[in-house]
Amino acid sequence: MFEVYRKEIEWGGRTFSFETGKIARQADGAVIARYGDTAVLCTVVINKTQRSDVDFFPLSVHYQEKTYAAGKIPGGFFKRESRPNEKEILTSRLIDRPIRPLFVNGFKNEVQVICTVLAHDLENDPDIVAIIGTSAALCLSGAPFLGPIGAARVGYNDGQYILNPTINTAKESELDLVVAGTQEGVLMVESMAYELSEEVMLNAVNFGHKSFQPVISAIIELAEACAKDPMDIPEITLDIKAIRRKLEASGKTVMETAYEEPNKIKRQNKIAAAKKKAIESIDDLLEQEIANSLLKDLEADIVRSRILNTGKRIDERNTTTVRPIAAEIGLFPPLHGSALFTRGETQAMVVTTLGTGQDEQIVDSLEGEYREHFLLHYNFSPFSVNEAGRIGAPGRREIGHGKLAWRSLKPLLPNKERFPYTLRVVSEITEANGSSSMATVCGTSLSLMDAGVPLERPVAGIAMGLIKEGNEFAVLSDILGDEDQLGDMDFKVAGTDQGITALQMDIKITSITIEIIKIALEQAKKGRLYILNEMNKVLSVAREHIAQTAPKMISIKIPVNKIRDVIGSRGKVIREICDTTGAKIDVEDDGSVKIVAVDKEALESAHNWIYSLISEPEIGKIYDGKVVKTLDFGAFVNFFGSKDGLVHISQLTRGKRPETVSEVVKEGDKVKVKVIGFDDRGKVKLSMKVIDQDTGNDLGAIIK
């Protein structure tokens, strides 16, 4: 009934296998990829008709995790998977980026890739498995795909590279790098690093590229055994060269002039007018359908040839110059931290908010539930590019850009023991013309330091581009939006003056060599150091104190056997402390206690109350107290949290003993008392007369 094909290799100390022919047989391509006991079903479906209403390749990639894969039932009220979580969105992008450039130019049939995690062994991350499984499914489907591609995760520890580290091993690694590419070169890189050098990062990319070559060979062998025949691509009957000549005759000169305009909005308006004029020169409706695509090619030729021939870019910069930078901090006093970072026509307004442990993000993943105390959210509003666009939930691009900035800053953050706040950073892109994610990195670094977050060092980011024609190429620093769209590479590098913290590379051609990546890294380092120098003119280290509007927080450690005393029966004691002082208190199972309050007085009050619950009064120590009850023989004073002690009538005042207690104190009075001992029942004995009630000085040495 089933004609099953299977290919298996040993890779990175584990078995990687491909299987096709049994499951999802009606898809154009379907492969179950397994690594260890992690399994992902990767399917490809290709629409049989070409879309004529779009000028882009309609590829969609959907990576989805089923909780049954880890033996779990979805949490929450609805017990089924719903909208994609952040990991699913990021992995979908991770699969899309290396396969998109390898489809034949002009192919516009809709292609849908769905990767479903069927089993997770909690050791091998399904993302690498999904990328490789998708590559195999595409090669079997008959799609005009110039693959296969391979992918690998690279770790780094103690000077050694690790191929596909397990999930637990990756947590201890100085590097988390994913690289994908073909036999000839690299297509995509995504990474987070702990201030590693350019050389270490370059060698990591090279190590990964070499390591996945056996995977590519295995896919080729599988495809030779069972791939479908290549699908027919409709032949273009129109005379493309003739149409292009018409467009060039009517629009090229105007476009060349438009690209001499450095201002983005003015340039866009001139280009739009040039395109309209060029389209109007064509009468045939069928020819007009492909004219827009040809005009994009014409734009690319103008921009690319100018850079390669003259070394000059759209805004007259050379290939290495960074656009002018302006930075400000403390934009709005009520905010905990804020910064405005502007680079050319790209601008990010970044705001930091400090919160408590109760504000942490609870993440429910296949690997288990965990809490995240650093949140970075990137928002891209349509006004930033002079558009009236749709406003809605953040898309894949926003999620991806936010995560890249998150990876860039994460290695420099203080640990929770040193700075116990939950951090939420929001980047609002207010202008955009290239590299808004790197502007977010720079703005976030300044905003965090403005909020008093003790970063180890400032972090900056820069986006690099590439123009490549044959063997001739130019690497561009700090690319514009047009250079990104019309160029061959988007290469983003973030880090400190000590090393790289994040790397992301996407290629729009079939691949690039390690030599080009090396040049890009070296050029990016110079740009990054220049940007850091400009940022340091505004703020180079974190403020010593957090904002007055930020919550005040202290962390203490109490004995585990005292946790019950602090919490009380059914939480009665801790609720009373919170209600009375206005503070918020988190108590962990290991005895860690976080106390948060809006003002210092409430913070100290809650701290002293907790301290009184876990400690005993010290003889000879002076305390502030409050009279809670008066009797004939003395006054009871609350002085140590919930603890009371007795001031005998003879210990109320110096000199003559008063006739009644009410002559000296009444209920509600605030007094200063000194512990002078304990009675036979262990009750605390206090004295007021040995304390100067105005100054708090100890008079015990002169009063016998």
Residue 701: per-residue pLDDT: 52
d(CA 288, CA 294): 10
- Detail the residues annotated as belonging to a binding site: 484, 490
How many residues would you count in the chain? 704
Domain topology for 5-226: Ribosomal Protein S5; domain 2 (3.30.230)
Residue 194 has pLDDT above 60, yes or no: yes
According to DSSP, the β-strands at 684-687 and 361-365 are unpaired
Q: Where in the chain is the domain with CATH 1.10.10?
A: 240-310
Confidence category of residue 389, pLDDT binned at 50, 70, 90? confident
Q: What percent of the chain has pLDDT over 70?
A: 98
CATH 3.40.50.2020 fits 552-614, yes or no: no
Residue 398 confidence (pLDDT): 96
Res 12: pLDDT: 94
The whole-number average pLDDT for the span 567-574 is 90
Give domain 325-536's CATH superfamily.
GHMP Kinase, N-terminal domain (3.30.230.70)
Extract the annotated binding site for Mg(2+): 484, 490
CATH for 622-687?
Answer: 2.40.50.140
Q: Which of 269-278, 393-402, 513-522 has the lowest mean pLDDT?
A: 269-278
Q: How confident is the model at residue 431 (pLDDT cuts 50, 70, 90)?
A: very high
DSSP calls for 78-113: S-S--S--HHHHHHHHHHHHHHGGGBPTT--EEEEE
DSSP strands (E only) in 478-583:
489-495, 500-507, 552-557
Q: Could you give the 3-state DSSP secondary structure of residue 244?
A: helix
Residue 703, pLDDT > 70, answer: no
Mean pLDDT over each residue of the chain, to the nearest integer: 91
Q: Which whole-number Å values give the CA distances from 654 to 638, 657, 693, 699, in the listed order? A: 21, 8, 11, 10
Read off the amino acid at residue 587. V
Q: What angle do CA 658, 660, 661 make, to 5 degrees?
A: 95
Please check the confidence at residue 614 and state whether its pLDDT lies above 90. Answer: no
What pLDDT, on a 0 to 100 scale, did the predictor assign at position 704? Answer: 42
Is the pLDDT confidence value at 604 over 90? no
* pLDDT on residue 285: 58
Is the confidence at residue 259, as pLDDT, over 50? yes
pLDDT at residue 702 tops 70: no
Among 104-118, 368-382, 492-506, 572-586, the range scoring the smallest mean pLDDT is 572-586
How many Cβ atoms are within 10 Å of 191's Cβ, its own excluded?
Answer: 24
Domain 240-310 annotated CATH 1.25.40? no
For CATH 3.30.230.70, list the domain ranges present in the chain: 5-226, 325-536
Range from 87-101, 258-272, 275-289 carrying the lowest mean pLDDT? 275-289
What are the tens digits of pLDDT across the range 199-248?
Answer: 999 999 999 999 999 999 999 999 999 999 999 877 765 677 788 888 88
Angle, helix 436-450 to helix 396-409, in steps of 10 degrees: 50
pLDDT digits (tens, 9 = 90+) for 41-99: 999 999 998 887 777 899 999 999 999 999 999 887 888 998 999 999 999 999 999 99
Looking at residue 87, its pLDDT comes to 96
pLDDT at 381: 94
Q: Distance (Å, rounded) from C-alpha 295 to C-alpha 393?
A: 33
**In 3D, which of 171, 168, 243, 175 has the Cα closest to residue 208?**
175
Parallel, antiparallel or unpaired: strands 14-20 and 374-380: unpaired
Q: Give the pLDDT of residue 288.
A: 67
